[in-house]
Chains A and B, each alone.
Chain A
Amino acid sequence: MKKQTINFELNGELVEVHTEPSGSLLHLLRGQLGLLGTKEGCGEGECGACTVLLDSQPVNACLIPAAKIEGKQVQTIESLSNGDTIHPLQESFVEKGAVQCGFCTPGMVMSAYALLKVNQDPTPVEVKEAISGNLCRCSGYKQIEEAVLDAAEKIDQGSRED
């Protein structure tokens, strides 16, 4: 298929790529753009390991054709930390033991991040629902749920202190 130029915002920066429009956003991120933090567990939209935010909505990057991101905002796990700072969600994931093999973790963090963007005080059921599209085989989800609730509390406290 003929390649096409696509412009979009990736982790806060404007980028221009020349790519096959029917190729998946996941392969664009991992292959062409070298962002390997977004994982591929099935390529069929079943496992959630490739969850990224598309205009603030959590999506399976493996199911999004590259053509669909023209003019949109894409946010990946790489945007949540740099050498100096780390997102409270990531801190809570570590503190609560929510990371075992870690393969689901980037997608799981992005789903939780999307939740906390629109709901700063989620109930345990809302957390479960928000991560229900992200499979984790290691954890039984309990410590992940604890981590998301813990992060919500931290963010809430942080905003009150500000």
Chain B
Amino acid sequence: MWGKKQEQNRSERNISGCGSYQSPEVWAKVTGKAVYGIDLEFPGMLYGKILRSPHPHARIKGIDLSAARAIPGVRAVLSAQDVHCNPYGIVVDDEMPLAVDRVRYIGDEVAVVAAVDQKTAERAMAAIKVEYEPLPAVFNPVGALDEQAPQLHEDFPGNVAWERDLIRGDPDTAFREADLVVEDSFSMPSVHPAYLEPIACVAVSEYGNGVTLHTALQSPDLVRDIISRALNLSSSLVRVIGPVMGGGFGGRVFGNLKLYILSSLLSMHTGFPVKMQLTREEEFTVGRPMIAAEINLKMALRRDGTILARESEIITDNGAYSAQAPWVSKTFSERNDSVYRIPNIKTRARLAYTNKVPTAQYRAYGNQSANFACESLMDQAAKRLNMDPLELRLKNCTQAGDTTVHGLEIKSCALTKCLQRAASEIGWDQRKSGRGYGISSGIHANGSLVANKNFRGASARVTLELDGRVNVFTGEQDYGQGAHAAFACIAGRVLGLEPDQITVYSRDSLVTPFSQGALAMRQTTIGGRAVQVAAQELQKAIIQKASEISGEPVSLENGLLKNASGRLIELTEVATGYHHQTSGLNLVGEGKYVPPASDYDETSYGNISVAYSFAAHAAEVEIDKKTGAITVHRIVAVHDSGHIVNLLTSRGQVYGGVTQGLGMGCYEGYLFEGGRVANSSLADYRIPTALDVPAIDQVFIETEDPEGPFGSKGLGEIVMVPVLGAIGNAVADAAGVPVTALPLTAEKVYQAMSGGECSK
């Protein structure tokens, strides 16, 4: 409790009054009044349903829509022949809204129906006749890269969706000269973000050839651009308005593009609003889970524990279409290289098309699953060197002032302190017998530039309203993680106002500034900095106007305007004065934050982000030796996310992210049978319940980052990174042998323990 109190005070000192501020939307949520995508209704609204492929790979020989079209209440039935669209995608354009002549996974969209109600839409779907000619399919990504494997896309020969061969430094020499080489193979299945609200949207076609899409997205502006490209619509004629979002975790950066495009097409065909919504089963079978990965990892070290080089051979499973899988594969393949001072790197990574559900991302973008492998190998090396795993990490960990092997410029970093604190909190020096302990380090970028190096920053607009309140317009999205509360705190701190005097608005692409959105942990650091700059611009405008009104210099402090003679001027007076003078304008501060010039070369070497957050997690577990079942007793999470803007919401991020890491570490993962998702319900795909979550202790080590607003850095994704390595290493410690495949089920732990015994 004492520790908690101390942290609270520290945070309150940072930004007065913001220790636990929350945006007013929280009251709508807690009373059941918040309107989510599934709650949306419009007059005349139709319901859309998708007919999906039952085959993992097949040629479409014919589609007969006539019986479906004849059903009363059916307003549109469309197949690929009825629509004129462009191929689209996020990284590569390998998707069409409806399958043209071939289906590539069980669930592939073949036809779409709009009807007056759900039941009629379902009846129409059942009346569509499709003739398929099944084709050989491939489900295993390693098999998919074989020369003889069935080919999925003509534009991607060999089923290679993306690949990377990378050498930094001289890894071959490092491996030759090493005192110790450790090597192991790891595998991680696909995992789903499992946000609690299934994706839903309503598309409303507009007169004049546009469409308004009502759906909750982390990056509505990026989605707007993809939709306009796919539908051949001018981008300003596509408008995205967000209802409240029932969880995202990366899964709603791009959400389900297919659903948005198909509902738009149906609305444009019928002239009525069309609602579409995924069932929970569809979320699992046709949503966009994160890539599965196989990785063979080698590390070279000196006898004293200095890491000399790391080499990895990676195959990631793309599924049938490539959403964000190339970017996720890239982060998976390299981010952990920058946690430690590793001078030489060799990476061969390939992303393979298979006849399975297309993949994308999940909170931390693959950094967390790679952490499981990289940190296991750290412990294996420590064991071979007879060194304390903590000491090995402390010897190698990245420091402020470093430029890492991939060119990341580390301006603030408390990783050493995080590791030391995590160790002391878990009781590293008094480890109990019969328990397993593990520790792990993580780094995560704040607003990676890799997606678009010409668009690195953010912008915001802050207005003074006639009643003296302030509005912040931003394209950065809040879905419960507290971005809007943070922005209110930041703008309030600049203007000397309480956060509840500030309204933050972000959910309409027609009104709010264009933004990359809630991805790459950029909201507070980059979006928040733009809000800070815009608020400073407004401050200048207010002071200038007030000086004009009073005819002498004016200062603005703690929300109070004073002229030289000490007279107070009300903000309302300034706002109204300007409003009258200009016949209706408000005082506005527009601000941009363009991070310092940074670049990367064709190998992606360079400073890809403005700041880097760090963390160390430690875990204490116990294994039932008879069954292999794991009990996680405690997790300690120590974070360097710079100054903490809002302690209450920050704590929520850590609790939630660590719990998601626990789920991914211990139970979660896709199971397939012949390309079909075998665990497509929340009963079979188990996520943590209240009874599963162990004690979670958290500590913030507050560094002062030169780039983030008031020295703060991102938190929302790194919370899920080191927890995987920490649990994996604690289980290995308790089992006496590493378990190298996620999730760490009792069966796998038991097998590893028995195998270990046999080999002795």
Contact = CB atoms under 8 A, between A and B. Distances in A.
Interface in B678-704: 681-683, 687-691, 693, 696
Interface stretch (B20-28, B90-98, B403-411, B530-538): B20-28
Interface string B5-32: 0000000000000001010011111111
A132 to B, nearest CB: 5
Given A42-B682, A139-B652, A36 B39 contact: yes
Nearest to A142: B655
A90 interface: yes
Nearest to A89: B30
Contacts of A99: 22, 26, 29-30, 480
Contacts of B479: 100-101
Contacts of B195: 101, 103, 137
B1 interface: no
Interface stretch (A2-10, A65-73, A76-84): A76-84
A104 B196 contact: yes
B229 interface: no
B29 A102 contact: yes
Given A102-B244, A132-B690, A138-B247, A36 B32 contact: yes
A37 B39 CA distance: 9
A39 B245 CA distance: 13
B655 A102 contact: no
A132 B246 CA distance: 19
Given A97-B22, A137-B194, A139-B652, A76 B32 contact: yes
Nearest to A93: B30
Contacts of B481: 100, 138
B480 A100 contact: yes
Interface residues of B, number: 53
A106 B657 CA distance: 22
A131 B691 CA distance: 9
A122 interface: no
Interface in B652-667: 652, 655-660
Interface string B168-202: 00000000000000000000000001111110000
Contacts of B197: 39, 41, 101, 103
B648 interface: yes
Contacts of B31: 37, 77-78, 80-81, 86, 90
A141 B247 contact: no
A135 B687 contact: yes
Given A86-B31, A132-B689, A44 B683 contact: yes
B408 to A, nearest CB: 29
A142 B30 contact: no
Contacts of B658: 140
A109 B26 CA distance: 14
Interface in A124-143: 127-129, 131-143
A15 B605 CA distance: 67
A3 to B, nearest CB: 14
A135 B480 CA distance: 16
Interface in B230-250: 244-249
B689 A101 contact: no
Contacts of A93: 30
Interface in A8-64: 36-44, 46-47, 49
A93 to B, nearest CB: 5
A144 interface: yes
A133 B693 CA distance: 14
B39 A43 contact: no
A49 B196 contact: yes
A77 B32 CA distance: 6
B649 interface: yes
B30 A43 contact: no
B644 to A, nearest CB: 13
In the complex, which range does the number of interface residues on chain A fall in? 35 or more
A99 B246 CA distance: 11
B651 A105 contact: no
B615 interface: no
Contacts of B32: 36-38, 76-78, 105-106
A143 B33 contact: no
A128 B479 CA distance: 25
B31 to A, nearest CB: 5
Interface in B25-61: 25-36, 38-39
A44 B682 contact: yes
A94 B658 CA distance: 21
A132 B683 CA distance: 13
Contacts of A96: 648
B656 A138 contact: yes
B196 A41 contact: yes
A90 B27 CA distance: 8
A101 B691 contact: no
A36 B648 CA distance: 28
A81 B29 CA distance: 12
Nearest to A90: B30
Nearest to B684: A46
A36 B687 CA distance: 25
Contacts of B246: 39, 41, 101-103
A94 B38 contact: no
B279 interface: yes
Interface in B212-241: none
B693 A97 contact: no
Nearest to B244: A102
Most buried by A among B20, B245, B249, B480: B480
A37 B693 CA distance: 27
A108 B447 CA distance: 34
Contacts of A134: 690
B633 interface: no
Contacts of B656: 100, 137-140
B690 A131 contact: yes
A99 B687 CA distance: 18
A49 B656 CA distance: 18
Contacts of B245: 101
A97 B30 contact: no
B280 interface: yes
Contact of A47 (B248, B659, B682): B682
A103 B30 contact: no
B681 A42 contact: yes
Contact of A43 (B193, B280, B689, B693): B280
Interface in A117-162: 127-129, 131-145
Nearest to A103: B246
B19 to A, nearest CB: 11
Nearest to B635: A140
Given A42-B280, A103-B246, A143 B655 contact: yes
A144 B690 contact: yes
A102 B479 CA distance: 9
A132 B541 CA distance: 53
A101 to B, nearest CB: 4
A133 B30 CA distance: 18
10 contacts: A39-B246, A93-B30, A94-B26, A101-B29, A103-B196, A103-B197, A136-B690, A138-B652, A141-B659, A144-B690
Given A43-B279, A140-B659, 14 more contacts: A40-B38, A41-B280, A47-B196, A47-B682, A77-B31, A95-B20, A101-B247, A101-B480, A102-B34, A105-B32, A138-B481, A138-B652, A139-B655, A140-B658
Give 3 nearest A-B pairs by CB, closest first.
A37-B32, A102-B29, A103-B246
